[in-house]
Structure 1
Amino acid sequence: LISGAFSLTRQAMALGYFPQVTIRHTASHTEGQIYIPEMNALLAVACLMLVLTFRESVKLAAAYGIAVTGTMAITSILFYVVARHHWHWPIWKAGGLLVFFLAIDLPFLTANLFKFFDGGYVPVLIGAILIAGMLIWMKGRTYLNEQHLNCYPTYADARDKIEEAVVARVPGTAVFLSPPTDHIPPILVHHVQRNRCLHQTVILLSVQTTSDATVVENARYKIENLDTDFHRVSMYFGFMEVPNIMPALERIASSQELPIDLKHITYYVGHETTVNSNAGNMGRIAESIFGYLQRNAVESERQYGMPKEQVLEIGTRVDL
């Protein structure tokens, strides 16, 4: 249960369904052996609450029965989805196995549903809370990204305006975290509007998670030269990898693919504060939950391995 919760949390983070939390690797020879302090604490609190609520192991039977049989039924359905859409099995083959498994799983699940009010509601309630939190987080990030795409122009449209707003170019390199599109990141726009200056070399860095477990080093990053002093770097990480950008930047610097000095880089990250109101797409309650999750998520500099002394955070207020 514990190690499985760690792995599922990490994959949910990589797929955008869970806020970033601290991940610690416990073995140098095995990448999948990880420890998540926040999830460990949550499991400890949940176990204590179950013990104090049920008090006797006999009373846990109903909750355990629905949890196990429900997991079996859901696993059978997910197996069918994977077989059809990933393995490309014919419908008769995948559907036949689904019917066979459900013929065993559903009678057990139906029998346990009669014990729903005797404690069987506990795993259903826990699952509903987790699903609601994951959907709120995914929707919030989706709306946030849509706002960025709608409110901020592409590089081609904004280049002249940036040059007009900038009154000074300072030595060094600025790295702005950017979405994987051709739009200008909001933090760059706010920086230019407020400070009226820009570094001599600007890198728009996007970090993307692929559907593969790992990414080979030769395909780790892609560089696009937008101008002599503007560059877009796209980095790719598998969903089982830790998205540490520093090794790739070191490789770019050592190979002189870009004129950068790691000691003289300023990393700009954005921090959005949500305005809880009913005017947006999510509503006040969902937006409050999203804001709480966002405030407690791991900072970008920790997530991507940036040196803290070279990070500058720019905050904005948004209404989802």
Structure 2
Amino acid sequence: MANANHKPAGRRSRGHGQVGLTGLVVGAIGVVFGDIGTSPLYTIKEAFIPHYGLDARDPAEVLGLLSLIFWALMVMVTLKYVAIIMRADNEGEGGIMALMTLAQRTLPKGGRGAYAVGILGIFGASLFFGDSVITPPVSVLGALEGIEVAAPQLHDWIVPLAVVIMLVLFSTQRFGTEKVGRVFGPITLVWFLSIAALGVLNIRHNPEVVQALNPWWGVKFFMAHGWHGIFILGAVVLAVTGGEALYADMGHFGARPIRYAWYFLVLPALMLNYLGQGALVLENPDAVKNPFYVGVPDWAQWPMIALATMAAIIASQAVITGAFSVSRQAMQLGYIPRMLVRHTSKDTIGQIYVPGINWLMMLTVIALVLAFRSSTNLASAYGVSVSGTMLIDTLLLALLAKSTWTRARWWVLPVCAVVLVIDLGFLVANGAKFFHGAWFPIALGLLVFTVLRTWRRGRELLTAEVRKEGIQLDTFLPGLMLAPPVRVPGTAVFLTASPDVVPHALLHNLKHNKVLHERNVFLTVETLGVPYAPREKRMKISPIAGDDFHRVIIRYGFMETPDVPVALMRSCDQCDLVFNPMDTTYFVSRESIVASRHRGMPIWRDKLFAFMHRNAAPATTFFRIPGNRLVELGAQVEI
């Protein structure tokens, strides 16, 4: 199978160091499975709300629901993600952005197919943000609602406690998760062992519940309910939320540790707990008010609430970290404006903190807690973004398998066809909850998608305007040197998005300062469609017209953070250029965008792009250029 599980040795050692397989498995348990691992807190409870019309006193209904949950986990997570999609890695990295890049490589560059795949991938990434702001409140509220079972008189404290937890969680992000992350794995391991033991304890009350593993119960469920039965998938999908994280976090741990953790711990623990809740409902239908906590012995109620809350916080942390990672990838690929990115670990490049994303998520999450106030209400909004992302994953996988996986497409494509039908069923079932809360992730996804596409298109229009009005560098420099201006000591580095066009900063420097530095470098930073740029492609240096003019192109992968001064220092080994940090001045053109009717995008999108461009992080921060060595020169561009 082409490209399957191929990981360059350098990438593997860089990502995992000397950590053994056991350590990676434990780490994956703590980071990858937090979301799907907290689903038992609310899935069964949600399925028996009046909205779905299920009768907890009917054993066929209970067994049918459990059968649907089991086979959803087997088909949608085990088969689709663990067995198939995790074979599609972009040099070890996973996630919808990586899958989009792989799928685009199978199509002619610049064609309609590549454009459509890009639209799908970006819309899937937009839906991810809708999921990432719902996971923390639904998980934490689901955990804290155990208080209603242990001490009903404390019900009014649940929402304030959830708000406090969110405030603390987001306020501590700036300190990094490296130290806390060391205990994530063990805590989540205890969580899975605990819910498995709880499931075994409750299954003993009604062992017949294991019949639900037979798919015939799921078939009978649909036969009994007809086409209306599809709407129960709106609750079943809650059991597989977080399944896409297995693929998205593959780059952090590798495919094998994630597979081992899923097969030997997570999947058995989840199903034992779901079966235990089902056995409890069969024995006592009133347990549907909160089957997870009703099945906990009285002496273990408060310890389980504490453990569930910690597991929910860990699940939230994993989603927040994932949002930071996706944001950085989107920045590198040119889909959102530059934002401040802080590294919180000296040893792990993936440990980053994006303040803008963090505070925006915090405000949204707290607003959701205050607006919805319970996991049941939030569950109505949950699922539609997940099912949409899963559907896009299936489409991209089918395209990749058809074009690239020559040996495996004979069985992968039929699987994709079956999974696509299930994905559509999940999407329709969740879409039916539109007026009950599902509108929120859809609206948020469309908003994020609009921002991403507007920034991307705006950058294209800006670059086109600069090229159209610009002067070709190769013809300008020889003419300039016929009557050269005064040369001053030092090196001038002109950052430009178009390596063949004279930067506005150079023209302004010549016009206003009437000097030219001794050495002049025209620098362009490019992002490749791979996580980490190969060493041989990292930098290209070529002289222009003599007289110490050089064109330099530095390339980074979408998982890397550009560091221009360090890259230039390392270039000293490749040519005769000498970069003395104290003798180098960086020149950047800061364009002022003027929105114009009848050109480019609709006027409201032009104004949106101008606003984002005006508030983007300065080059000094994004490219790590020292502020005391930077000169910014303005230029007005109409789009």
Same fold (TM over 0.5): yes
Task: Find the counterpart in structure 2 of residue 27 from structure 1.
Answer: 345
Provide the rounded CA distance (Å) in 1 between the counterparts of 2:552 and 2:529.
Answer: 19
How far apart are 1:47 and its partner, in Å?
0.6
| 2:362 paired residue among 23, 29, 44 | 44
Cα contact 2:592–2:636 (8 A) shared by 1:
yes
1:200 maps to amino acid: E
| 1:305 paired residue among 599, 624, 630 | 624
Q: 1:82 to 1:164 in 2, by over 3 A?
A: same
2:384 maps to amino acid: I
State the identity %: 36
How far apart are 1:238 and its partner, in Å?
1.3
Richer in strand (by share): 1
Q: 1:251 to 1:112 in 2, by over 3 A?
A: closer
Cα contact 2:565–2:581 (8 A) shared by 1:
no
Moved more, 219-228 or 307-316: 219-228
After superposition, the C-alpha distances for 1:151-203 in whole angstroms (9 at most, x for unaligned) are 11222221244346753221211100022532222222232233322112110
Task: Find the counterpart in structure 1 of residue 203 from structure 2.
Answer: none
1:243 maps to amino acid: P
Which is bigger in relative contact order (C-alpha 8 A, separation at least 6)? 2
Task: Find the counterpart in structure 1 of residue 566 from structure 2.
Answer: 247
Q: 1:314 to 1:83 in 2, by over 3 A?
A: farther
Matches within 5 A, 1:1-320: 1-84=319-402, 92-163=410-481, 167-226=485-544, 227-253=546-572, 257-320=576-639
1:214 maps to amino acid: Y
Moved more, 184-193 or 195-204: 184-193
Moved more, 147-156 or 65-74: 65-74
1:268 maps to amino acid: F
Provide the rounded CA distance (Å) in 1 between the counterparts of 2:593 and 2:582.
Answer: 34
Q: TM-score, normalised by structure 2?
A: 0.47
Moved more, 278-287 or 147-156: 278-287
Cα contact 1:154–1:182 (8 A) shared by 2:
yes
After superposition, the C-alpha distances for 1:271-290 in whole angstroms (9 at most, x for unaligned) are 11111331431232112111
1:21 maps to amino acid: M
Provide the rounded CA distance (Å) in 2 between the counterparts of 1:191 and 1:316.
Answer: 12
Cα contact 1:180–1:207 (8 A) shared by 2:
no
Cα contact 2:503–2:589 (8 A) shared by 1:
no
How far apart are 1:231 and its partner, in Å?
0.7
How far apart are 1:143 and its partner, in Å?
0.5
Cα contact 1:180–1:234 (8 A) shared by 2:
no
Q: 1:86 to 1:169 in 2, by over 3 A?
A: farther
What SS class does the counterpart of residue 553 from structure 2 fall into? strand
Q: 1:317 to 1:94 in 2, by over 3 A?
A: farther
Cα contact 2:342–2:352 (8 A) shared by 1:
yes
1:147 maps to amino acid: E
2:365 maps to amino acid: C
Cα contact 2:339–2:616 (8 A) shared by 1:
yes
Q: 1:27 to 1:184 in 2, by over 3 A?
A: same
Provide the rounded CA distance (Å) in 2 between the counterparts of 1:89 and 1:38.
Answer: 45
Supply the RMSD in Å over aligned alpha carbons.
2.2
Moved more, 196-205 or 176-185: 176-185
Cα contact 1:204–1:232 (8 A) shared by 2:
yes
How far apart are 1:8 and its partner, in Å?
0.8
Cα contact 1:136–1:286 (8 A) shared by 2:
yes
What SS class does the counterpart of residue 241 from structure 1 fall into? coil
Provide the rounded CA distance (Å) in 1 between the counterparts of 2:393 and 2:380.
Answer: 20
Q: 1:29 to 1:181 in 2, by over 3 A?
A: same
How far apart are 1:228 and its partner, in Å?
2.5
Cα contact 2:520–2:548 (8 A) shared by 1:
yes
Cα contact 1:166–1:192 (8 A) shared by 2:
no
1:3 maps to amino acid: T
Provide the rounded CA distance (Å) in 2 between the counterparts of 1:230 and 1:203.
Answer: 6
Provide the rounded CA distance (Å) in 2 between the counterparts of 1:108 and 1:34.
Answer: 34
How far apart are 1:240 and its partner, in Å?
0.9
Provide the rounded CA distance (Å) in 1 between the counterparts of 2:606 and 2:460.
Answer: 13
Moved more, 66-75 or 229-238: 66-75
Q: 1:23 to 1:83 in 2, by over 3 A?
A: farther
Provide the rounded CA distance (Å) in 2 between the counterparts of 1:110 and 1:255.
Answer: 57
Number of residue equivalences: 320
Provide the rounded CA distance (Å) in 2 between the counterparts of 1:236 and 1:121.
Answer: 40
How far apart are 1:77 and its partner, in Å?
1.9
Richer in helix (by share): 2
Provide the rounded CA distance (Å) in 2 between the counterparts of 1:111 and 1:266.
Answer: 58
2:387 maps to amino acid: T
Q: 1:119 to 1:260 in 2, by over 3 A?
A: closer
Q: TM-score, normalised by structure 1?
A: 0.92
Cα contact 2:492–2:585 (8 A) shared by 1:
yes
Provide the rounded CA distance (Å) in 1 between the counterparts of 2:402 and 2:344.
Answer: 36
Moved more, 162-171 or 38-47: 162-171
1:317 maps to amino acid: Q
Cα contact 2:563–2:623 (8 A) shared by 1:
yes
